């Protein structure tokens, strides 16, 4: 078969490229899908390639556990990825076994087709690998979660990896019920909307009219908990791609949005334009911003390992390395110290990370309070903002684990401080 001529092979070739990009930490799944073979796909084949890669990443642990005993040594080139995609089609997508095997074998180099065929056919006889939670995550991350949150929570977190999440939307203002109905959306506590709709979101009702933006229900909490009033000055220190900036601007605050990435800030500008909102958008390193202004409220949604975002980005789990967490914790401490200098006396600071690792959350909050006696922790009362009750930690911050709400939500740490002295 010729990949150039056969749409089924073209879609699988695009998936192979995308999986390689995802697992080598180059990210940008959609960019990988648009480049090379993916650029020639029909929308239906494109959606198939994407679904195949996501299904593979969500079950990468079990798939590799099934493959390993069948591979005497590591196969060359992209053969492991090819086999992973083949097994994902057999077990997790609605692809007939013969089509999954034939298209996978056809993509292998001639000399390795026997191996690929034997592995897949052998696996067909064995049936799907079990979805044991401790095998859905990389072993080192599962061990961390077990040490930090206990066995039952670690299993419940990991079980979410295999689940396909719904899309959460944040409405710009109270939404027309007709749009809610068309979105087939369910209202979540706090005001987010959840829909099982799929496909091109730009074609969903209310997108072009700027009625909502896509934002996980947990990601909507930090800005809500900052509780800004109209005309308050607010600094969003790490703003791109902009979900929290949009919330703050929609609440009527006068927002300054910083990010050190000019390319990511373009998404903030585009979003503000679509939503009819305004903010001052500046490219700057927040740790070293040459501007002396102080603000009524500051949001630091810091760069982090993002292990809490695995429901939509399962590749983060497989790209994270143990050393990253300590390195990111040092960046977060420096950014928190910079954030403290920006808060007016009496003002508030919310710190958040979409990480499940205590070094990036609890340890940062404790370290910040110890180093900044002018600040106190303002305990959360999660009900109003819509945070799950299970997420309220005895210390007064939120530790949101992905199984804390029905249908799941991103893992987050959120703490709120107030500057009580000059």
Q: Which residue has the tokens 């052998």?
A: 122
Q: Is the peptide bond prior to 241 cis by the omega test (within 30 degrees of 0)?
A: yes
Find the binder of ligand SAM among 15, 87, 158, 239 (CB under 6 A). Answer: 239
Strand partners, 171: 212
Q: Least distance from C-beta 195 to ligand SAM, angstroms?
A: 20
**Min CB(260)–ligand SAM separation in Å:** 4
**How far is Cα 286 from Cα 269, in angstroms, rounded to an integer?**
18
For ligand SAM, the closer CB: 87 or 237: 237
Binding to ligand SAM in span 125-154, by CB under 6 A: none
Task: Report the candidate in 50, 61, 86 with the shortest Cα–Cα distance to residue 159.
Answer: 61
Q: Which of 81, 259, 359, 410 binds ligand SAM (CB under 6 A)?
A: 259
Output the six-digit token pair for 364.
């940062």
Active site residue 238: no
Candidates 149-157, 158-166, 237-245, 375-383; binding stretch for ligand SAM (CB under 6 A): 237-245
Give the closest residue to 82 by CA, choosing from 31, 28, 9.
Answer: 9
In 3D, which of 257, 268, 181, 227 has the Cα closest to residue 416? 227
238 binds ligand SAM per the rule CB under 6 A: yes
The answer to whether residues 190 and 217 touch, using CB atoms and an 8 Å cutoff, is yes
Q: Does 78 bind ligand SAM (CB under 6 A)?
A: no
- Please give the structure tokens belonging to residue 245: 């900036």
What is the spatial distance between Cα 107 and Cα 112, in angstroms, rounded to a whole number?
Answer: 10
Closest distance between ligand SAM and the C-beta of residue 254, in Å?
18
Query: Which residue stretch of 161-169, 234-242, 317-325, 358-366 sits at the interface with ligand SAM (rule: CB under 6 A)?
Result: 234-242
The Cα–Cα gap between 291 and 80 comes to: 51
264 touches ligand SAM (CB under 6 A): yes
Residues 6+ apart with CB under 8 A from 243: 170, 213, 214, 215, 219, 220, 223
Window of 100-108, 112-120, 281-289, 313-321 that interacts with ligand SAM by CB under 6 A:
281-289
Closer to ligand SAM at the Cβ: 81 or 216? 216
Residue 271 as a binder of ligand SAM (CB under 6 A): the answer is no
DSSP labels, 17-67: HHHHHHHTT---HHHHHHSGGGGG--HHHHHHHHHHHHHHHHTHHHHHHHH
Catalytic residue among 155, 238, 304, 354: 354
Q: Does 356 bind ligand SAM (CB under 6 A)?
A: no
Among 195, 261, 294, 333, binds ligand SAM (CB under 6 A): 261
Question: How far apart are CB 326 and ligand SAM at their closest, in Å?
Answer: 16
Q: Which of 240, 279, 320, 343 binds ligand SAM (CB under 6 A)?
A: 240
Applying CB under 6 A, does 242 fall inside the site for ligand SAM? yes
- Residue 140: which region, alpha, beta or left (left: phi > 0; alpha: psi -120 to 50)? alpha
Q: Count residues near ligand SAM (CB under 6 A).
A: 17
The single residue listed with the structure tokens 């922790």 is 377
The Cα–Cα gap between 165 and 159 comes to 12
Q: Which stretch binds ligand SAM (CB under 6 A): 100-108, 253-261, 343-351, 374-382?
A: 253-261
Contacts with 190 (C-beta within 8 Å, 6 or more apart), sequence order:
217, 220, 221, 224, 384, 385, 386, 387
Build a one-symbol-per-residue string for 302-341: x at contacts with ligand SAM by CB under 6 A, - elsewhere: -x--------------------------------------
Nearest residue relative to ligand SAM (C-beta): 238
Residue 66 in contact with ligand SAM, rule: CB under 6 A? no
Sole binder of ligand SAM in the list 75, 171, 205, 241 (CB under 6 A) = 241
Q: State in angstroms the smallest separation of the CB of 152 from ligand SAM.
A: 28
Cβ proximity to ligand SAM: between 180 and 239 the closer is: 239
Q: Could you give the residue numbers annotated as active site? A: 354
Which residues are near ligand SAM by CB under 6 A? 238-244, 258-261, 264, 285-287, 301, 303
């Amino acid at each position: 078969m010729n990949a150039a001529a056969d749409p089924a092979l073209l879609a699988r070739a695009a998936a192979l490229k995308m999986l390689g990009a995802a697992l080598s930490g180059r990210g940008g799944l959609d960019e990988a899908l648009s480049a090379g073979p993916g650029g020639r796909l029909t929308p239906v084949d494109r959606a198939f390639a994407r679904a195949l890669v996501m299904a593979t990443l969500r079950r990468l642990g079990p798939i590799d556990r099934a493959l390993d005993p069948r591979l005497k040594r590591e196969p060359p080139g992209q053969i492991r990825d090819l086999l992973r995609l083949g097994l994902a089609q057999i077990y997790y997508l609605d692809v007939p076994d013969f089509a999954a095997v034939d298209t996978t074998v056809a993509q292998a180099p001639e000399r390795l087709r026997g191996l690929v065929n034997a592995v897949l056919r052998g696996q067909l006889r064995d049936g799907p690998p079990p979805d044991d939670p401790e095998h859905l995550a990389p072993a080192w991350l599962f061990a961390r979660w077990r040490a930090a949150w206990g066995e039952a929570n670690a299993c419940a977190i990991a079980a979410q990896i295999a689940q396909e999440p719904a899309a959460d939307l944040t409405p710009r203002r109270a939404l027309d019920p007709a749009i809610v109905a068309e979105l087939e959306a369910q209202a979540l506590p706090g005001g987010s909307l959840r829909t099982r709709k799929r496909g091109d979101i730009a074609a969903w009702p209310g997108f072009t009219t700027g009625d909502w933006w896509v934002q996980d229900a947990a990601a909507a909490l930090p800005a809500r908990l900052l509780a800004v009033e109209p005309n308050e000055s607010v600094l969003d220190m790490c703003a791109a791609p902009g979900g929290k900036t949009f919330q703050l601007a929609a609440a009527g605050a006068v927002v300054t949005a910083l990010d050190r990435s000019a390319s990511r800030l373009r998404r903030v500008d585009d979003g503000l334009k679509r939503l009819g909102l305004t903010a001052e958008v500046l490219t700057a390193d927040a740790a070293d911003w040459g501007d002396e202004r102080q603000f009524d409220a500051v949001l630091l949604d810091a760069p982090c390992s993002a292990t809490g975002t695995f429901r939509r980005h399962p590749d983060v789990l497989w790209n994270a390395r143990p050393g990253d967490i300590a390195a990111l914790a040092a960046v977060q401490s420096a950014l928190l110290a910079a954030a403290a200098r920006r808060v007016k006396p009496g003002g508030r600071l919310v710190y958040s990370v979409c990480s499940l690792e205590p070094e990036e959350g609890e340890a940062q909050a404790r370290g910040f309070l110890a180093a900044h006696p002018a600040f106190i922790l303002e305990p959360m009362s999660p009900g109003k903002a819509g945070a799950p009750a299970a997420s309220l930690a005895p210390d007064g911050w939120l530790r949101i684990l992905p199984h804390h709400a029905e249908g799941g939500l991103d893992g987050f740490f959120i703490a709120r401080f107030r500057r009580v002295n000059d």
